[in-house]
Amino acid sequence: MNRRSEGALNVLMCAAGMVAAAASAAERPPPPEDGALVAADGTGQFKTIQDAINAAPPNCSQERPWTIKIRAGTYHELVYAQREKHFVRLVGEDPARTTVTFGLCASMPGPDGKPLGTFHTQTVWIDADNFSIENLTLENSAVRLGQALALRVDGDRATFRNCRFVGWQDTLLVNRGRQYFSHCEISGAVDFIFGGATSFFYRCQIHCLGNGYITAASTPSGQPFGLVFSECTIGGEAGARTYLGRPWRPFARVMFLNTEMSEVVVPAGWHNWNRPESEKSADFAEFGSRGPGAQPALRVRWAHGLSRSDAETITPQCVLGGNDGWNPLAENN
């Protein structure tokens, strides 16, 4: 995962979306004050999700969010939620029939002729705080071509419910901020949940498509939590073998709580990314793992278990509360 300078492609993405929105504004009825309808067949206010996001007003709040309803269909587009699009909700009909997809990968040439790099491949990029997505599939279709993001999140206090994230390598980048994922499905093979954010995954299904690593955390030093998985399930394709994670950065923090692990999880559990020094600084922990992939006696010695009393304190409120006391369970989503 090479970090390249950010900007060129993302500027083109949002600029193209704004131009398209302006060009078609006179041809459609105005959206209601509290949201909009997107339909690829033209029966809504917008045909693309990007146009609907661009039209969201700047004064949304938790009490008055702007809801973009998305009719079933496949939307071939790059989606960028700008920093100012607070309290906007994307709500699909259901993830099995409502998909946002694109196929950029890191090795493809960008506007300057150089490879895009990992951080410019996202199908959906959430840069706004207090953004939420429900009932959608977010896909990067560049399967097995290298690093290719389905979702990148830089916004704080983002929530994702009943969503599917589909990719192969680097499917889901939680880059910074805090996120809550509930009843989602995440598929991939190599480092497919990664980043430096504080993220809580509740009752999510993790599907391993091939040999690799589920997580690659880059938790900053001193950050209390990184990636936390609670009451999740880990499965995969026949013959796939995976590690629970490896440290992308030295202070990576990952926890699995009360998670069902199939035989796809290797007995060692964790990998040091061939950097033995990271064994002293990374914090990889489990509690209540069960299933064929839960083999505590065979785990690497530098990972550790949690006591029941400690595990019971690791709730969404504890992990995500921060200085502002954010509680995603209390939101009216």
Q: Establish whether 191 is a catalytic residue.
A: yes
Amino acid sitting at position 151: L
Catalytic: which of 154, 170, 283, 324?
Answer: 170
Alpha carbons 319 and 181: distance in angstroms, whole number? 13
- Longest Cα–Cα distance of the chain, Å, equals 66
Q: What are the beta bridge partners of residue 169?
A: 147, 190
* Alpha-carbon span 66 to 53, nearest angstrom: 9
Catalytic residue status for 127 = no
CA distance 222 to 285: 17
**Which among 112, 156, 191, 324 is annotated as catalytic?**
191
Q: Tell me which residue has tokens 């008055």.
A: 64
| Beta-carbon contacts of residue 14 (< 8 Å; ≥ 6 apart) | 80, 82
Report helix, strand and coil shares of the chain as percent, to nearest 5. Answer: 15, 35, 50
Dist. CA 76–CA 200, nearest whole Å: 29
- Of 16, 4, 271, 235, the closest CA to residue 115 belongs to 4
183: amino acid identity, one letter: H
Please state, in angstroms and rounded to a whole number, the distance separating the CA atoms of residues 49 and 90: 9
- If one counts every other C-beta atom within 10 angstroms of the C-beta of residue 219, the result is 25
Neighbours of 115 (CB within 10 A): 16
Tokens at 143, concatenated: 């399967």
Catalytic residues, by residue number, are 170, 191
